[in-house]
Amino acid sequence: MREKDNYSLTELLTTFGVSASGYRHHHSDKMTQQRARQIKLVAEIKAINKDPKLRVYGSPRMTKELHARGYECSENTVARLMQEHGIVAKGAKTFKPPKTTTVDKQAKYSDNMLEDQKAQHFAEVLIAEITYIPTKEGWLYLSVVIDLFSRAVLGFETSGAMPASIVTSALNKAVENWAIPRGMAIFHSDRGSQYTSGDLRKELKRHAFDQSMSAKGNCYDNATCESFFSTFKRELLPESGYFETRLEAQRAIFEHIESFYNTRRRHSSLGNISPHAFIKKHNQLALSA
C-alpha cells in the first residue's frame, strides 16, 4: 500500500496556482471574520446573562436562546466561551424554610393516583404546592397549581398566612383562566391540612376533579413542584435574597409568572421551549393528527 503523500504548503500553493501573499491575505481575512463573530457572540452571551430573568441560564439554555436570536453556535462553544470569560449562571440562595404545611392526623387522605410524574394531555394532572418567599416584613406564602403536561403555572395565590383559601383560590383561578372542563383533571398534592380541608374538597367536588395525594414519607411524589420552586426562587429573588415588602414580592411574582415563566422561560423537559409554546405546539400537532 502506498504511503500517504505529505505536501508542503509551498508545493500546494504552486500546484493550485495560488500566490503566497494571496493565501496569507485570505487566511488573515478568514481569521478576522471568525474573531469578529466570536466577539459578537460573547457580547450577546453577556447581554443575556445580565438580564435578571435569564441569568440562571447555563450553557444548554444559553445556546437555545442564542439560536432563537439568530446565532449559529454549538453548546460546547458556548460553554467554553462562558468559562473563558467568567460568565456564570445565577446560583440559588439558601434559607431556613418555615414549615409550609401541617398534617391533620384526623383527616382522611386521598389515594395516590399518580404512578409516575407524567401526563399525556393538557390539564390532565394538576400539581399543587405551597412555598415561602422571604421579605423584610416576614414570609409571603405562594400557592401554585401547575399543569404537569406543559409545566405552565395555571393558577396562583399569595398570602401572609396559610389558610385553606390560599389553595382554593389558586385552584379556581386555574379553572377560570384556562377554562378547564368539569371532570377533566386529577388534582395532586401533599397531605398538608390545606389540601385535606373541607373547603378544598368542596371545590374539587364542584369541578368534578379527582383528588390525589402523595404517599406518606415519599418526598419524590411532588418532584415537579419542588423543582419548579427551586428554579423559580433563583430567577425571582433579588441579589439580597429577599424583598423589602410583601407587596413588592406579590408584584414580582405576578410579573415573573405571567410575563416570563409561562411565556418565555425555556424548559429542558419541554425541548427547551416555554410552557405556552409547548401547549401551542401540542395543539397544532393534535389538530394535524
The string of pLDDT tens digits covering residues 48-59 is 888 877 877 888
Q: How many residues does the chain have?
A: 289
Strands 138-147 and 153-159: antiparallel
Asked whether residue 110 carries a pLDDT value surpassing 50, the answer given is yes
Question: Which carries the bigger pLDDT value, residue 189 or residue 27?
Answer: 189
Are 139 and 98 in contact by the 8 Å Cβ rule? The answer is: yes
Question: Which carries the bigger pLDDT value, residue 116 or residue 25?
Answer: 116
Asked whether residue 158 carries a pLDDT value surpassing 60, the answer given is yes
Give me the pLDDT at residue 123, please. 94
Using CA atoms, how far apart are residues 66 and 41, in angstroms rounded to an integer? 8
Distant-in-sequence, close-in-space partners of 231: CB < 8 Å, separation ≥ 6: 56
Model confidence band, residue 99 (pLDDT cutoffs 50, 70, 90): low
**What pLDDT digit, counting tens, does each position of 240-287 carry?**
889 999 999 999 999 999 999 999 999 888 998 999 999 999 886 655
Task: Quote the mean pLDDT of the chain.
Answer: 84
Give me the pLDDT at residue 41, please. 85
- State the burial class of residue 269 (Cβ atoms within 10 Å of its Cβ: 0-12, 13-18, 19+): exposed
Q: In degrees, to the nearest 5, what angle opens at C-alpha 215 toward C-alphas 212 and 218? A: 130
Question: Which carries the bigger pLDDT value, residue 281 or residue 38?
Answer: 281
**What pLDDT digit, counting tens, does each position of 61-95 carry?**
899 889 888 888 998 889 898 988 888 887 655 55
Give me the pLDDT at residue 205, please. 97
28: alpha, beta or left? (left if phi > 0; alpha if psi -120 to 50): alpha
Give me the pLDDT at residue 168, please. 97
Whole-model pTM? 0.71
Are 255 and 246 in contact by the 8 Å Cβ rule? The answer is: no
Asked whether residue 2 carries a pLDDT value surpassing 50, the answer given is no
Asked whether residue 34 carries a pLDDT value surpassing 90, the answer given is no
Are 262 and 152 in contact by the 8 Å Cβ rule? The answer is: yes
Q: Which residues of 78-104 are buried (b: 16+ CB within 10 A; e: fewer)?
A: beebbeeeebeebeeeeeeeeebbeee
Using CA atoms, how far apart are residues 199 and 52, in angstroms rounded to an integer? 38
Using CA atoms, how far apart are residues 82 and 138, in angstroms rounded to an integer? 37
What percentage of the chain has pLDDT greater than the value 70?
Answer: 79
Model confidence band, residue 1 (pLDDT cutoffs 50, 70, 90): very low
Model confidence band, residue 149 (pLDDT cutoffs 50, 70, 90): very high
Model confidence band, residue 16 (pLDDT cutoffs 50, 70, 90): low
Give me the pLDDT at residue 42, please. 85
Residue 131 dihedral angles phi and psi, to the nearest 5°? -135, 180
Mean pLDDT of 161-187: 95
Question: Which carries the bigger pLDDT value, residue 147 or residue 19?
Answer: 147
Asked whether residue 144 carries a pLDDT value surpassing 70, the answer given is yes
